[in-house]
Amino acid sequence: MIERSEHGISRKQFSPNAIKVLYRLKEGGYDAYLVGGCIRDILLGQQPKDFDVVTNATPEQIKKLFRNCRLIGRRFRLAHIVFGREIIEVATMRGHHEADEEKNHVSQSSEHGQLLRDNVYGSIEEDAERRDFSINALYYSINDFCIYDYANGISAIKAKQVELIGDPETRYREDPVRMLRAVRFATKLGMTIAPSTEKPMKELASLLDHIPPARLFEESLKLFLNGKAEENYIMLRQYGLFKALFPALDKILNANPDGLENAFILQMFKNTDKRINAEKKVTPAFIFAALLWFPLLDIAKKLQQRDQLSEFDAFAQAMNKVLSESAQHIAVPKRFTLGARDIWHIQQRLDKRGGQRAYRLTQQPRFKAAYDFLLLRVQAGEQQHQELATWWTAYLSQDINGQKEMVKALGHQGGPKRRRRPRKKKAE
């Protein structure tokens, strides 16, 4: 237990809604604590984004206390207390799987040791042992304003280490996503992964193949949209975790580690981090368009050779195939795959600029993203497109008259003009 005078954390640093939840639970006769990332981040001098609460009340008991509550989750039941745009997540303290079945506690594991259902409730001490990393097993009480540290989380924060609680192999088998979380916490917090925690990661990376694709999509967004995407990508490759997310691209990267493909992905993540850290918008459609670009080109080339298809037809079929194969690993929502398709389609049309084509292309909703994609390709080393990228950059800086002059200067594209057939004279 760390006294209030020793940790220096004030209630003013927490969300007022989180404090309301704590007091309502207390008034209802239950124990309640702020837990995990919000405590960790404040101790590290960072502003928390989420405020999570843990209590000895069951989800059903929580729901009775809050009219603005909804219960979610199958693997582990959670209560979401909704305050407008803010959601305070409330979890019941977890216990060990050997809990008495007479208490109606439910636990279920897969053949690989992965927890499929985890509705086993227990004490705060058991809950701390069930948390993934020691830096996330810190509890703040409104009863005495003390921090309770059951897993040496304060020591881990001081040592700047991400360390699993318990046996690493067992904990990864329970939930393989913990390997992705270890990477994300390490880069986000400027920490290293403890030797014992990182040791089994390469060997157990394939366990991620058994995680639902929808969950891996959510985890990939956390990895690639947090301003540390480049570092996360490098670490995912280092531990063999990237293969579970993007196996086709991983294979291409392994075949040519120092090639254009790796330079392209690194540059894309570098640009993504720059935009996010400047508080600019980034669409997942662009990121997934980039991550699937080289697998797309590879499939298109093979289809063209095997089925004697035109470049356009091979490319169209390859888009369907690459998205279908990717969906087996990451379930990217349709609104983002449609965006990726548009970005890819426009790549094929950027060199066709004659007549009204250039203007019409700029009116496409995804044109700006597709233009940025072209710049990325050149930036990564595709110098054969430098002239095209320079032309489009100049074109976009011109007014309508300047744009017409640039198109006129190109000359007619697409071969000789088609002659109109003379109209037949009407019989008098």
Q: How far apart are CA 136 and CA 131, in angstroms?
A: 7
Number of H helices, E strands in the chain: 23, 11
Among the options 118, 127, 132, 273, which is catalytic? 132
Domain layout of the chain by residue ranges: 1-159
* pTM for the model: 0.86
Cβ contact 177:184 at 8 Å: no
Task: Select from 47, 36, 52 the least CA-distant residue to 12.
Answer: 47
Mean residue pLDDT across the chain: 90
Furthest-apart CA atoms within the chain: distance in Å: 107
Asked if pLDDT for residue 414 goes beyond 50, the answer is no
Task: Select from 100, 79, 82 the least CA-distant residue to 90.
Answer: 79
> Phi/psi class of residue 229: alpha, beta or left (left: φ > 0; alpha: ψ in -120 to 50)?
alpha
Residue 59: pLDDT band with limits 50, 70, 90: very high
Give the distance from CA 51 to its chain's centroid: 20
Cβ contact 78:72 at 8 Å: yes
Helix (H, G, I), strand (E, B) or coil at 123: coil
Where do we find the tokens 């006294």? 3
Task: Select from 152, 155, 235, 162 the least CA-distant residue to 195.
Answer: 162
Helix (H, G, I), strand (E, B) or coil at 121: strand
Among the options 41, 52, 118, 273, which is catalytic? 52
Higher pLDDT among residues 406 and 102, named by residue: 406
Taking residues 330-334, report their average pLDDT.
Answer: 96
Could you report the per-residue pLDDT of 62-112, keeping only the tens digit for each?
A: 999 999 999 998 767 899 999 999 999 999 998 875 544 444 444 444 555
Q: Dihedral sign for Cα 406, 409, 415, 420, please.
A: positive
Taking residues 298-322, report their average pLDDT.
Answer: 93
The torsion angle over the Cα atoms of residues 73, 75, 78 and 83, rounded to 10 degrees, is -40
Taking residues 369-375, report their average pLDDT.
Answer: 97
Taking residues 282-300, report their average pLDDT.
Answer: 97
Asked if pLDDT for residue 115 goes beyond 70, the answer is no
From the number of C-beta atoms within 10 Å of its C-beta (0-12, 13-18, 19+), residue 349 rates as middle
Taking residues 264-293, report their average pLDDT.
Answer: 97
Structure tokens given for 425: 């004279």
Structure tokens given for 204: 């157990």
Could you report the per-residue pLDDT of 340-351, keeping only the tens digit for each?
A: 999 999 999 999
Q: How far apart are CA 208 and CA 342, in angstroms?
A: 30
Could you report the per-residue pLDDT of 217-264, keeping only the tens digit for each?
A: 999 999 999 999 999 999 999 999 999 999 999 999 999 999 999 999
Query: For this structure, is 167 an active site residue?
Result: no
Taking residues 352-367, report their average pLDDT.
Answer: 95
Higher pLDDT among residues 286 and 424, named by residue: 286
Q: What is the pLDDT of residue 11?
A: 84
Q: Which residues contact 249 (CB under 8 A, 6 or more apart)?
A: 242, 261, 265, 291, 292, 294, 295
137 residue type, one letter: A
Cβ contact 140:39 at 8 Å: yes
Among the options 50, 175, 209, 313, which is catalytic? 50
Q: Which CATH architecture has domain 1-159?
A: 2-Layer Sandwich (3.30)
Query: For this structure, is 50 an active site residue?
Result: yes
Asked if pLDDT for residue 304 goes beyond 50, the answer is yes
Q: What is the pLDDT of residue 422?
A: 57
Q: What is the pLDDT of residue 349?
A: 95
Cβ contact 32:26 at 8 Å: yes
Query: For this structure, is 351 an active site residue?
Result: no
